[in-house]
Structure 1
Amino acid sequence: MANKLNVDGILLFEQPFARVPYENYRKVFRTSQRNVERDLKAVQSAATDLAKQSSSGSVNSEAAIQSIDAMITNVENLKRKLSDLHDTAGKPTQDVIRERLQHLATIESIPMANDPEFGRWADTRLDRWLVDWALRNGKEKTARMIAKEKHIETLVDIELFSDIKRIEDALERHSCTEAIAWCNENKTALRKMKSTLEFDLRLQEYIELSRACKYDEAMEYARKHLAPWKETHMDQIQQATVLLAVRPERAYGRYKRLYDFSRWTVLVQSFRTAIYSLNTLPTEPLLHLSLYAGLASLKLPACFLHATKNVDCPVCDGEAGSGSQGLGLGKLAEEVPLSHHANSTIVCYITGKIMDADNMPLAFPDTGYVYSREAMEEMSLKNGGMVTCPRSKATCKFSALRRVYIS
């Protein structure tokens, strides 16, 4: 059925929607796991010592009681930490995951695309994409306002993008502290992705110490933070060690590039790529991706010829291809490939409208130039039955025009 809802196609855009809260919950789980391992290790160690003393008969009752009290205190502290973590991060994240999955499950019960329920679901999706676009373009206040007015706070990732902006702002201020802390929180995932972001950040901190002539600190920093990467980044480490003998104003070649401040811009881009990959976020706004899909099916070479504009074509809108900052969708369409049509689509040179069975194409007998019947009829009514080709200037009677069949 033509109007049957394509659920699989819709869900192609929704992977980040479900993945982001899942990654947040994984962080909560890892934090809980670290707390359990650290605190229980101390309890197990104390219990082992107490058992050894008891088996050897050298246990002191008062010391044993104090040891047991200490173990009880550690367990109670662990319970409190886990409870606080669950209340402040775990349960809210669980609620977000539940609401998002329920939101996605709604479309499985909608059979047709013209169902009013799908219209409401699609409106909510558009609101989500608008929030995503605003967040990616630094308009956090606008994003929060839309989310609040549309009651979709749990369906958008404002906190994630707020965190991204905080770390990127720090990098733009030439500080790696926040980005390195993020790398430590996601060390396992970054290792699986084979990301070199942490090394790049460590290398930049070493470069800044060299730039400030803090050579002792730079050497100590290299031993502590760069040496562990020697198996995979030995060439870069060796180049970096030369900076201890090369001042920024005297640097040349590869050493001048190491001192170049543009490296901070590259670090911002590398961090963004890493955090987007970790959360399966596309590098383009979801709103753009959805528009790309539609524009790619409409884009034709004729859309970029000024003389053949189709008033009903969104690709022709906005001075596409002219190099100007057009306000229409044509500017966005410049980035998508031309569409592939199984059947020919012909656009009238004069009106910009598509020629079909209702507006058949007519060709001039001598030149072969083709125009729509609507344009030729209008021209003949104004000129006593005569029509003129705007390109070749050839003139003939309207009745002399030949009908063209579209293959």
Structure 2
Amino acid sequence: MNKLNHDQLLSLEHPFVKIPVEKFRSSLRTSQKHIEKEIGNLTDKISEISKKSVQGSMEPSQVEAALEAIVNRLSTLKRKLKDIRADEVLYSQRTKVRLQHLQDFATIQTLDSDEYARWSRVRLNRIVIDYMLRDGFRGPAALLAKSEHIEDFVDIELFAQSAKVEEALERQSCAECLQWCKENNSNLKKIKSTLEFSLREQEFIELARERRSQEAIAYAKKHLTPWQETHMKEISHVMGLLAFPPETKCHPYKRLYDKSRWNDLIAQFRSNNFALQFFTPEPLLNVTLQAGLSSLKTPMCYQPEHRNANCPVCDPETLGALAMDLPLSHHFNSSIVCRISGQIMNEDNLPMALPNGYVYSYNALTEMASLNDGKVTCPRTGAVFNLTDVKKVFIS
């Protein structure tokens, strides 16, 4: 019963290692791109300078200025590569630490060991920190990570970067998010994102809201027409705003003017950002909590007369409410749990039936009888019986 199922738990840990690995690969690709671009420019410039020098069309002072410009560009490249190198070191270190964390788990065999208690505490802390970061509590999350010495197990800086974009969208500014789309253009195309179009559409809406019709038309020609092959219907609707004021009651133009669209943009950006950063769509806390509750949930949990005090799903005010929409557990082999002790009834703790038909475990009834002169009391009905009247139950 205490043996760990390593495969089941590790199946949830894929993003934990994939995030730093992919960020490390991304840093390598970025540095390679910068180097190839600058080497190409450097080769062209040197060839041009050499050719003009031979032809005598460049003065020595011009050659010196051109070479100085090349040196400045190489200095700029060096600074960029230094910053990228810092990222590479960071994510390389995180990958090693996280792999070691999972390797430590692979050596743990039982649930009741001290090693598992320490390992699961670290896992719980990083899951809680992930939840806090997604909910915007970056300060407390950073303090928790620092106090538990698990900074390498969480990705606080990635959430800090995305928070700047979300804060701009909350201020009803698309500029920062559009810049983010530009920087991640190739990756957004891979996931078939429509975020950039949604942002362009919203900027047009804001121009229409301010009744700046000529600017709106010019904006549409420049930024919306490139999307006409895939979004012609949406473009047609949004162009209709030029004829309808912000206070219109006409659908769908009233919906287009609705300020709640900014919240939709934040949600769309967050979804795309999580996909690009390899975060799970839902917090891991939600996933693990739902999995645990679903494995415990039975039809009896929602029947007051059958609730178990030791079952979290049986509490209708807390976790029972969260488990309401989850599927019932599927057990190949059912377990019978004693209502008195919460222990499983099996060959070592036999189920025993009172004369009134209610069944409890042998250990719980004998302990109760030892404290009450051989008498046992049914917790459901309050009826009192002699322990000698209790009979074994055989389940087929």
Normalised by the length of structure 1, the TM-score is 0.81
Contact 1:19 / 1:279 at 8 angstroms: preserved in 2? Answer: no
Structure-to-structure mapping, 1:188-267, within 5 angstroms: 188-267=186-265
Q: Does 1:332 align with 2:330?
A: no
Q: Secondary structure at the match of 2:394?
A: coil
| 2:360 match | 372
1:138 CA displacement: 2.9
Match of 1:171 in 2: 169
Counterpart residue number, 2:351? 360
CA drift of 1:387 comes to 9.4
CA displacement, residues 194-241 of structure 1 (integer Å, 9 cap, x when unaligned) = 111121111111111111112222222222222221221111112111
Which residue type is aligned with residue 171 of structure 1? Answer: L
Structure 2: distance between partners of 1:176 and 1:158: 24
**Counterpart for residue 331 of structure 2:** 341
Tell me if the contact between 1:40 and 1:75 (Cα under 8 Å) persists in the aligned partners.
Answer: no
Deviates more, 1:349-358 or 1:234-243: 349-358
Alpha-carbon deviations, 1:333-381, whole Å to 9, x = none? Answer: 334321112234456788887655535253869xxx64437799979x9
Query: 1:386 & 1:59 partners in 2: Cα distance?
Result: 111
Deviation of the 1:48 alpha carbon? 3.5
Task: Report if the CA contact (8 A) 1:22-1:97 is conserved.
Answer: yes
Kindly provide the amino acid, as one letter, of the partner of residue 330 in structure 2: H
Aligned residues: 391
Give distance in 2, aligned partners of 1:221 and 1:145.
45
Indicate the RMSD between aligned Cα atoms, in angstroms: 3.7
Normalized against structure 2, the TM-score is what?
0.83
Other-structure match for 1:137: 135
Q: Please give the secondary structure, in 2, of the residue aligned with 1:315.
A: helix
Residue aligning to 1:10: 9
Q: Post-superposition shift, 1:253?
A: 1.2
How far apart are the structure 1 equivalents of 2:312 and 2:365? Answer: 25
Alignment of 1:101-116 (within 5 A): 101-110=99-108, 116=114
Report the Cα distance in structure 2 between the residues aligned to 1:394 and 1:11, rounded to whole angstroms: 49
**Bigger shift: 44-53 or 395-404?**
395-404
Inter-partner Cα distance in structure 1 for 2:246 and 2:136: 34
Q: What residue ranges of structure 2 are gaps of 5+ in the alignment?
A: none
Q: Does the C-alpha gap of structure 1 residues 70 and 145 become closer, same or farther in structure 2, counting only changes over 3 Å?
A: closer
1:15 Cα deviation from its structure 2 partner: 1.8
Could you tell me which amino acid in structure 2 is paired with residue 276 of structure 1?
A: F
For 1:94 and 1:355, how far apart are their aligned partners in 2? 50
SS at match of 1:249: coil
Report deviation, 1:165: 3.1
What's the CA shift for 1:286?
1.6
Amino acid of the residue matched to residue 372 of structure 1? Y
Alignment of 1:317-328 (within 5 A): 319-320=315-316, 324=317, 326=318
Indicate conservation of the 8 Å contact 1:147/1:153, yes or no.
yes
Q: Cα distance 1:342–1:370, how it changes in 2: closer, same or farther (>3 A)?
A: farther
Give CA deviations for 1:163-185 in whole Å, capped at 9, x if unaligned: 33332232222222222222222
Task: Tell me the equivalent position of 2:145.
Answer: 147
Change (3 A) 1:360 1:98: closer
Corresponding residue number in structure 1 for 2:275: 277
Instruction: Show the 5 A alignment for 1:20-59.
Output: 20-53=19-52, 57-59=55-57
Contact in 2 for aligned 1:303/1:309 (Cα 8 Å):
yes
Distance of 2:49 and 2:342 partners within structure 1: 90
Q: Which moved more, 1:93-102 or 1:110-119?
A: 110-119
Overall identity of the aligned pairs, in %: 40
SS of the residue 2:353 aligns to: strand
Identify the range of structure 1 (100-109 vs 300-309) with the bigger mean alpha-carbon deviation: 100-109
2:240 maps to amino acid: V
Spell out, residue by residue over 1:100-149, the C-alpha distance to the aligned partner (whole angstroms, 9 max, x if none): 23333333444555554443322221221121122223332321121111
CA distance in 2, matches of 1:94, 1:389: 59
Amino acid at match of 1:104: L
Counterpart of 2:323, as a letter, is A
Is contact 2:178–2:196 with CA below 8 Å preserved after alignment? yes
Name the SS of the counterpart of 1:250 in structure 2: coil
Q: In the superposition, relative to structure 1, how do residues 297 and 252 fare at CA in structure 2: closer, same or farther (>3 Å)? A: same
Alpha-carbon distance between aligned partners in 1 of 2:376 and 2:88, rounded to the nearest angstrom: 78
CA distance in 2, matches of 1:310, 1:21: 43
Secondary structure of 2:296's aligned partner = coil
> Does the aligned pair in 1 maintain the 2:338–2:361 contact within 8 Å?
no
Is the Cα contact below 8 Å between 1:15 and 1:280 reproduced in 2?
Answer: no
Distance 1:349 1:128, change over 3 A: closer
Task: Give the letter aligned to residue 12 of structure 1.
Answer: S
Residue 309 of structure 1 is matched in structure 2 by 307
**Aligned partners of 2:197 and 2:270: how far apart in 1?**
15
Q: Which residue does 1:405 correspond to in 2? A: 394
Distance in 2, Cα, partners of 1:399 & 1:90:
73
Match of 1:99 among 93, 97, 100: 97
Structure 1 window deviating more from structure 2 (26-35 vs 89-98): it is 26-35
Say which SS state the counterpart of residue 248 (structure 1) adopts.
coil
